[in-house]
Structure 1
Amino acid sequence: MPEHAQSLMSFMNTSESLLVHLRRAEHLKTSVLSCPFIDLSSRQLCDLELLLNRAFYPLEGYLCQEDYESVLANMRLADGMLWPMPVTLDVPRCLAERCEPGTVVGLRDQEGFLLAILHVESVWRPDKRQEALQVFGTDDPAKHPAVRYLYDRVDEWYLGGRVEGLHLPMHYDFPSLWMTPSMAHQQFAQRGWRRVVGFQADTCLHCAHKEMILRASREVGASIFLHPLVGGFQTGKLDPITQVRCYQAFAARFPDNMIALGILPLAARWAGPREALWRALIHKNYGCSHVMLSDCMADPGADGDQALYPRWAGYDLVARHHEEIGIQPVRLKPMVYVENRAQYIPADEVREDMDIREISSQELQRRLEWGLDVPEWFSFPEVVQELRYAFPPRHKQGFTIFLTGFSGAGKSTLAKVLRKKFLEMRDRPVTLLDGDIVRRNLSSELDFSREHREINVRRIGFVASEITKNGGIAICAPIAPFEDSRQYNRELISRYGGYIEVYLSTPLEVCESRDRKGLYAKARKGMITGVTGIDDPYQPPVDPELTVDTSAVSPAEGAQMVLLFLEEQGYIK
């Protein structure tokens, strides 16, 4: 089939979005008033948008159980069509119990705006371990961040069924870049592009990437569609606005008639070969004839030299199915900078007499956070300027001090001393989030069950993340007895600035002898229950930045230990 005929067929398949006519939309809005509603998470919003605009063609909604099990087993829908990734709607048990086949559910954004209607056809509780093994190749959350996300953040029940869309999610930033598949097809046609090679970026792009992309596009004689992922679960901590501004600066380094830039609201799963095939299908739906694939495509461990999947496994999988899906893979070969030649060459062409220069992503972030130089051979000045805005020097970043330990360990006292010390510096706003204060003002309705304690600690983490994001200092002083909630806060807050966990390891007998609140005495007499250390467990931190035993040091000495650590790490001068 000629290329233009294939492109036209693809356009006809994907141009029919799942958005209904205005009259149908008005009818649906009134007919679902008494039905259950779901306020979608950011990841779920990404999935819904790509269902509605047909980037997930041939799906017409969330996978039902039969399709889901078929996708896990052989990367195909129940009707045999190739589709490697389960796209399901996860819901809590309380909602699943209200749904059965035939139920209509309203799907809303996080502000409660109705976006779509789900006609439920299937309700089931999946085996998450089996899903992890088949999609990610491991069921160990310590090895794969997406497995941990699946276990900790994805609800226990799935809904499947056909979707009718009322509106696409609204985007107020970079409005011209949020391209649907039909918009991409139209732009390619207007530019006269028949051969288009797509590149889905999920990290910041630098000089080596330009050389890689140019070489790959010349190899197949195609124009370039730069299609960065923005949204959902990511492994990095670069905010979406900075990401897109970096991509704009990067794309400006190419001739206008060679490259197009469009944002893809895809929640990456980091599933290695399966994800490479999934992204190739999405590229095809956007009108690309070719897709660039790296040697470590969608591998969350590759950047740290702990790859989870074989090199080029994603390319090989797409190559095996390229005729069926109608898109050709192109190898994106690694490039290295040769100092004595002042140019980039393919890594497999390096000789022993060549002087190679490299900067890892970790080293780049270190240079940004310490205000060090980033050489122009590595990255374009315009890109570095945007990154410096997102990663200011540490002494200008916000940070969180998270104190944890038994009641009576000295958390509140140490927190008060630190607050005074930080206020004396007068360079950042300081907020104290003491456990008792938060309990009274943010969590007064919660009890002391494990579930409610975790909720309370995560609320503290959310507030601290907002303070950190805006350049302030948050001092948190809850008991926080469970490692899961502390780790959740670490991951959340570290996206925006520093996170320093301080474990007050003061022995229980010392804490009990202090007992200012009388908690331990009441617990020993059986007057109250749920007291950490008596009838409730405390899990010591696995790897805290600092450990302070207040039975051996004074509050002033403990504060000095924290201040010295902050100075060594560059957070204070």
Structure 2
Amino acid sequence: MNASLAASPSALIAPHGGHLRELYLPLEAAEALKKRAAQLPQWTLSERQLCDLELLLNGGFSPLTGFLGEEDYRSVVDHLRLADGTLWPMPITLDVPETLAAQLLLGGELSLNDTQGTPLAVLEISDIYRPDREHEARQVFGSTDRLHPGVAELLDRNHPVNLGGRLLGIQLPAHYDFVPLRRSPRQLREWFAGQGWDRIVAFQTRNPMHRAHRELTLRAAEKVGARLLIQPVVGRTKPGDIDHYTRVRCYQALLPHYPEGQAALSLLPLAMRMGGPREALWHALIRQNFGASHFIVGRDHAGPGKNSQGQPFYGPFEAHELIARYQHELGIEVVTFPAMVYAANRDAYLPAPEVTAEDEVRDISGTELRRRLHQGEDIPAWFTFPDVVRILRERHPAGARPGFTLFFTGLSGSGKSTLAQAVVAHLLETGSRAITVLDGDEVRLHLSKGLGFSREDRDTNIARIGYVASEVVRHGGIAICAPIAPYAEARAQARALVETHGRFVEIHVATPLEVCEQRDRKGLYAKARAGKLSGFTGIDDPYEIPASPELRIDASQESALDAAHRIVTWLRAEQLL
């Protein structure tokens, strides 16, 4: 819904400790502020910032009253607390580019808008600061490894300046899907009161739920004598996750398999950071604001997988250990629960510690489930419910493959276009997938005609390529892009666009500059060296080398055919072909 909010700012006592702070203005004041916002500097919120704004306005991030100022930010990063000592483990920040920050003054205001230009809130600017992103990554995520999605966003996609200050809410972001399931903290607590629920255990998920999840949540609820709240994240999750539309349909199909009146479903518009232990602590605080008395934390809660050395970013029980340290001041009781595994000889699910050497344990991994869906193979009843399988098969019909983008980047003359052509030929020779090629020169001729080579125009060019590629991927196709794309921030934004719908595979064509100059058929390097051509990448304009591309190829050491074969082999190993 997109109606202006008629509640006034409030600090209500939450049912299980703490305060619920809603940052809404009264209807008449909100309408007046909306008109004034049109005269203010404007900022279009990113997907993460939209999610954060919604949970700030509706009280999900209580006790926060806006985006963190510098003192609170530093305290949260280093000590998991606001400057006043209040427990809060995750920095909630509004990052903007230098060009916007230069227009702003302390004590001024900024209109925060959705992608349609609709003002949602006004920020009263109290702080303008430039954080140390690498320090934040080490403290919050315990790593600077860009295979961690939270680290990659922080280091490569966040803008350099943070704005802090109090929010004045005009209206919530618009949602038109699953509207009855999108209850605010106040609405959900009122629903609990109407149902007579006073002990509620919340369960966090970003994946479809199957029989093992049902067994785990049922046992956890029974353990603490509570009703169950299934509250999946429907904001941004981990790239490559199943879309929330499919997942919510699966949750709806699962709900009737719980005892009547014992479980409820409500959606959480959260942008996950995949921050492991800190994220688990954060999730618990959020669920306390939504009225839960208990919160389930399982093995490797909110873990992003393995790092570049092949090791998990977090230990399986690090989240349990961190939460135990702060349990006394959380305001919500955390229920730690082991994984549930299926023992075929008993035809039953058991907590992992209860499994014996005689038990015949069976499991289906996410990778194996996707393979069975693609191949049309049987998915056993012990693993999940038939109505859940039906929804997953509709979303992932047998024989269908997900879309993906191959994004070749490198200096002029590095061999990007040649390599892209070789990959296209290989793919068409061995398959019939729909392929769209977005070559740098052709894009400049058609899609980006009229753009120059300033940094702003170059960024616009890459943004257009990223948008078109994302639409190709959304419809299950393959987009092959071969621009120079010299700037890391623009490449990261293209990745973010594509990863909304599928995989983004960055391929750095790392041919040395001297080789590129030797290959220069157009004579551009010579003109740049002679000063006849300015702003030429690699000569008087920088090329920011990708820090962690999926593949790196030196076309001076490897033939186009060999490199194309290596790329296609990698794609097969990743199950993209």
Q: TM-score range by the shorter chain?
A: 0.7 to 0.9
Q: Distance in 2 between matches of 1:423 and 1:313?
A: 47
Aligned CA distance change for structure 1 residues 348 and 63 (closer, same or farther; 3 Å) = same
Alignment of 1:191 with 2:195, yes or no, is yes
Q: In structure 2, how many angstroms separate the alpha carbons of the residues matched to 1:570 and 1:317? A: 36
- Counterpart of 2:129 in structure 1 is 124
Quick one: which of 237, 240, 259 aligns to 2:241? 237
Instruction: Point out the more displaced range, 379-388 or 261-270.
Output: 379-388
In the TM superposition, 1:434-453 aligns within 5 A as 434-444=439-449, 446-448=451-453, 453=458
Distance across 1 between alignment mates of 2:151 and 2:287: 25
Question: Which residue does 1:373 correspond to in 2?
Answer: 378
| Residue 3 (structure 1) aligns with | none
Q: CA deviation at 1:543?
A: 5.0
Q: Secondary structure at the match of 1:100?
A: coil
State which of 536, 544, 553 in structure 1 corresponds to 2:551.
Answer: 544
Structure 2 letter corresponding to 1:544 = L
Q: Pick from 86, 102, 106: which aligns with 2:107?
A: 102
Cα distance in 1 between the residues matched to 2:239 and 2:461: 26
Aligned equivalent of 1:361, options 347, 361, 366 = 366
Distance 1:434 1:336, change over 3 A: same
CA offset at residue 432 of structure 1?
A: 2.9
Q: Mark the CA change 1:494 to 1:392 in structure 2 (over 3 Å): closer, same or farther.
A: farther
**Residue by residue, what CA displacement relative to the aligned partner does 1:441-474 show, whole Å, maximum 9, x if unpaired?**
3334554467765653453233112112112343
1:128-174 residue CA offsets vs partner (Å, 9 max, x unmatched): 23322322223x13363212211112222222221111111111000
| Residue 181 (structure 1) aligned with residue 176 (structure 2) | no
8 Å contact kept, 1:56–1:285? yes
SS in structure 1 at match of 2:75: helix
Partner of 1:222: 226
1:161 maps to 165
Please give the secondary structure, in 2, of the residue aligned with 1:209: helix
Conservation of the 8 A alpha-carbon contact between 1:505 and 1:550: no
> Which residue is 1:388 aligned to?
393
- Bigger Cα displacement from structure 2, 460-469 vs 444-453: 444-453
Other-structure match for 1:52: 57
Alpha-carbon spacing, 1:454–1:31, altered in 2? closer, same or farther (3 Å): closer
Q: 1:329-388 CA deviation, whole Å, 9 max, x = no partner?
A: 111221111122221111111111111112222332333344443322222233233333
**Higher deviation after alignment, 256-265 or 507-516:** 507-516
Q: Which amino acid aligns with 1:464?
A: A
State the distance in 2 between where 1:266 and 1:545 align.
34
Verify the 8 A CA contact 1:403 1:477 in the aligned structure 2: yes
Letter in 1 for 2:473: T
| Residue of structure 2 equivalent to 1:171 | 175
Deviates more, 1:246-255 or 1:461-470: 246-255
> Contact conserved, 1:201 with 1:228, CA < 8 A, in 2?
yes
Separation in 1, partners of 2:202, 2:484: 50
Which residue of structure 1 lines up, in the alignment, with residue 3 of structure 2? Answer: none
* Aligned equivalents of 2:68, 2:572: Cα separation in 1: 52
- Secondary structure, aligned partner of 2:126: strand
Amino acid in structure 2 at the alignment position of 1:191: Q
Q: Deviations for 1:32-58, whole angstroms, at most 9, x for unmatched residues?
A: 332212111111111111111111111
- In structure 1, stretches of 5+ residues that fail to align are 1-6
Is 1:299 aligned with 2:303? yes
Paired with 2:270 and 2:125, the residues of 1 have a C-alpha distance of: 23
Indicate the residue corresponding to 1:246 in structure 2. 250
Residue of structure 2 in register with 1:92 after alignment: 97
Question: Is 1:69–2:69 an aligned residue pair?
Answer: no
Q: CA 1:399–1:548 in 2, change beyond 3 Å: closer, same or farther?
A: farther
Question: Structure 1 residue 228: deviation in Å?
Answer: 0.6
Contact 2:507-2:549 at 8 Å conserved across structures: no
Identity %: 46
1:55 touches 1:286 (CA, 8 Å); kept in 2?
yes
Q: 1:490 to 1:33 in 2, by over 3 A?
A: closer
2: CA distance between counterparts of 1:263 and 1:520?
55
Q: Which amino acid aligns with 1:273?
A: P
Q: Determine which of 286, 289, 292 is the counterpart of 1:288.
A: 292
Contact 1:394 1:570 in 2 (8 A): no
Distance 1:408 1:114 in 2: 45
Q: Structure 1 112/75 Cα, relative in aligned 2: closer, same or farther at 3 Å?
A: same
**Structure 2 contact 240–502 (Cα < 8 Å) conserved:** no
Aligned to 2:8: none
Distance in 2 separating the partners of 1:311 and 1:335: 14
Deviation per CA, 1:100-126: give whole Å up to 9, x if none. Answer: 332122111111101111112222222
Aligned length: 563
Over aligned residues, Cα RMSD in angstroms? 3.8
Gaps of 5+ in 2: 1-11
TM superposition shift of 1:92: 1.7
Q: 1:58 to 1:475 in 2, by over 3 A?
A: closer
TM-score scaled by structure 1? 0.85
- The whole-number CA distance in structure 2 between the counterparts of 1:227 and 1:181 is 12
- Measured against aligned partners, the alpha-carbon deviations of 1:244-301 in whole angstroms (never above 9, x if no partner) come to 2222222232134011101101112222222222211111111111111113222223
Structure 2 residue 208 is the aligned partner of structure 1 residue 201: no
Residue 274 of structure 1: aligned partner: 278
Matched, 1:212 2:219: no
